[in-house]
């Protein structure tokens, strides 16, 4: 990364990356303005060739690692330890990263300079993170049975709760059609039935698979130089026999020869529609970002101004792009009778950009929106850490400042070229049981 220089404070932003083990990378982001330090350990694993283990087996692992550990065998004792570290906190996440599963465990705490009695908060929090990841509550190749029983309940509740949020349910149901045969076809957490079948042994086997075969990315973000944490984490992962490391993968989604159109009905008041466009050949990430913004990614977008405001066809209408999958998704919440008209309006807006391009004012506003977002990245450790984490699969890391330069260089013609690469792949609608389209 090219360091950013602040005339009043000197050098304040530094990004460094180094390999500290087989398939283990340590990423350090230092900014003297931060008051907290955050260390996250992320595991990339594939969705196939896992020895019969299910998605739910892998999804349960972070539940087990963040609730307790061998040294602190219950949530109460672990929470008390966090309190001793000035309210430190642990968090976890399981999501998609391209065609891989990304599972992370992270700990955050105040920097040492704010400790009242000279406590080494960074070192102690890093040691606690290592305790949770490397020495979980387990024995004889299995997580503690009672722990798994409790955590399974939480996982199943998370899986089942999607039925109560129709927008989230539409996302999940639409993926079954939009991403047939791809990892994103099914939930990263697995199904209710898979979660029911998880055992202490199968969850532990998934945990060992992550440790031994996962591509590991460690991000240390804050005002510290993290030299001590780097040493501790190098020792912690250096003792593991790691082989057949998962390779990162960001393959574009497969475009259907004929678009799919699926409608599902259930008891509900409003309808939700999701339209998936795919551009497997798209390579201009910067023009693609601005195209998505102008189409439906900001309050002055065409979807918002033309479909929601002028035509009053929907409650919301927006778009976002996934550059790794090279997809563009348009989604809208609408009255059932307006489903077809809204879908046609979305197509019309896309076709208009294909044929006529975008205006200079639209381009200016989109660039301004992106620039404002970039400026806010340094507001907290999570956002700037996420910025670099999101580029791991690229193999090339751009600083926010370098990215901004690329964005400012985008022309209207490049946006038009990107728009012409997208083809409709899937139309999915979740609506009430009785629907009448005008």
Q: How many CB atoms lie within 10 A of CB 395?
A: 8
Please state the rounded mean pLDDT for residues 70-75: 97
The answer to whether 108 touches 229, Cβ cutoff 8 Å, is no
pLDDT at 250: 82
Please state the rounded mean pLDDT for residues 265-282: 96
The answer to whether 416 touches 354, Cβ cutoff 8 Å, is yes
Please state the rounded mean pLDDT for residues 96-102: 95
161-213: per-residue pLDDT in tens? Answer: 999 999 999 999 999 999 999 999 999 999 999 999 999 999 999 999 999 99
| 215-222 and 142-143 beta bridge pairing | unpaired
Q: Residue 330 pLDDT > 90, yes or no?
A: yes
Which of 310, 307, 314, 350 lies closest to 329, judged by CA? 350
When pLDDT is cut at 50, 70 and 90, the band that residue 395 belongs to is confident
pLDDT at 1: 43
pLDDT at 171: 96
Q: Residue 437 pLDDT > 80, yes or no?
A: no
238-270: per-residue pLDDT in tens? Answer: 989 999 999 998 899 999 999 999 999 999 999
124-148: per-residue pLDDT in tens? Answer: 999 999 999 999 999 999 999 999 9
Question: Length of the chain in residues, anyone?
Answer: 438
Q: Residue 288 pLDDT > 60, yes or no?
A: yes
Query: In b/e form, how buried is each residue of 141-167, taking b as 16+ CB within 10 angstroms?
Result: eebbeebbeebbeebbeebeebeeebe
Minimum mean pLDDT range among 67-71, 304-308, 336-340, 430-434: 430-434
Q: Residue 11 pLDDT > 60, yes or no?
A: no
Percent of the chain at pLDDT exceeding 90: 91
When pLDDT is cut at 50, 70 and 90, the band that residue 13 belongs to is low
pLDDT at 248: 93
When pLDDT is cut at 50, 70 and 90, the band that residue 407 belongs to is very high
φ, ψ of residue 219 in degrees (nearest 5) = -120, 120
Predicted TM-score (pTM) of the model is: 0.93
Distance CA 102, CA 75 (A): 24
φ, ψ of residue 346 in degrees (nearest 5) = -60, -45
Distance CA 163, CA 156 (A): 12
Domains of the chain: 4-238 (3.30.830.10), 260-431 (3.30.830.10)
pLDDT at 10: 34
* Mean pLDDT for all residues in the chain: 94
When pLDDT is cut at 50, 70 and 90, the band that residue 3 belongs to is very low
Please state the rounded mean pLDDT for residues 90-99: 95
When pLDDT is cut at 50, 70 and 90, the band that residue 2 belongs to is very low
**Which residues, in sequence order, are CB contacts of 327 under 8 Å at separation 6+?**
178, 252, 253, 276, 277, 278, 279, 321, 425
């Amino acid at each position: 990364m090219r360091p950013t220089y602040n005339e009043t404070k000197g050098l304040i932003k530094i990004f460094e990356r180094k390999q500290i083990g087989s398939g283990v990378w340590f990423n350090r982001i230092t900014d003297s303005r931060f008051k907290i330090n955050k260390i996250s350990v992320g595991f990339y694993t594939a969705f196939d060739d896992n020895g019969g283990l299910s998605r739910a087996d892998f999804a349960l692992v972070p539940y087990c690692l963040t609730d307790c550990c061998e040294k602190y065998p219950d949530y109460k004792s672990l929470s008390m330890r966090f309190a001793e570290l000035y309210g430190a906190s642990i968090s976890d996440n399981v999501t998609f990263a391209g065609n891989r599963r990304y599972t992370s465990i992270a700990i955050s705490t105040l920097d040492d300079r704010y400790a009242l009695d000279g406590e080494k908060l960074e070192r102690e929090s890093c040691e606690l993170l290592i305790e949770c990841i490397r020495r979980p509550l387990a024995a004889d190749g299995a997580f503690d049975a009672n722990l798994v029983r409790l955590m399974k309940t939480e996982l199943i509740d998370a899986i089942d709760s999607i039925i109560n949020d129709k927008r989230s349910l539409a996302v999940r149901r639409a993926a079954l059609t939009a991403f047939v045969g791809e990892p994103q076809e099914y939930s990263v957490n697995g199904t209710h039935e898979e979660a029911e079948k998880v055992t202490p042994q199968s969850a532990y086997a998934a945990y060992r698979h992550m440790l031994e075969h996962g591509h590991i990315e460690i991000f240390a973000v804050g005002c510290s130089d993290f030299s001590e944490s780097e040493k501790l984490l190098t020792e912690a992962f250096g003792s593991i026999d790691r082989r057949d490391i998962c390779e990162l993968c960001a393959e574009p989604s497969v475009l259907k020869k004929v678009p799919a159109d699926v409608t599902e009905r259930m008891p509900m008041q409003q309808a939700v529609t999701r339209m998936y466009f795919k551009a497997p050949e798209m390579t201009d990430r910067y023009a693609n970002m601005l195209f998505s913004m102008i189409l439906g990614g900001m309050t002055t977008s065409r979807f918002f101004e033309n479909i929601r405001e002028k035509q009053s066809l929907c409650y919301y209408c927006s778009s976002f792009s996934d550059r790794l999958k090279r997809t563009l998704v348009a989604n809208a919440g609408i009255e059932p009778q307006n489903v077809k008209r809204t879908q046609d309006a979305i197509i019309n807006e896309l076709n208009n950009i294909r044929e006529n391009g975008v205006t200079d004012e639209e381009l200016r506003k989109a660039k301004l929106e992106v620039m404002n977002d970039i400026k806010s990245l340094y507001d907290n450790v999570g956002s700037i850490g996420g910025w670099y984490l999101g580029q791991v699969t690229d193999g090339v890391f751009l600083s926010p400042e370098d990215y901004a330069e690329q964005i400012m260089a985008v022309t209207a013609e490049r946006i038009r070229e990107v728009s012409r690469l997208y083809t409709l792949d899937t139309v999915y609608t979740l609506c009430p049981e009785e629907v009448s389209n005008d």
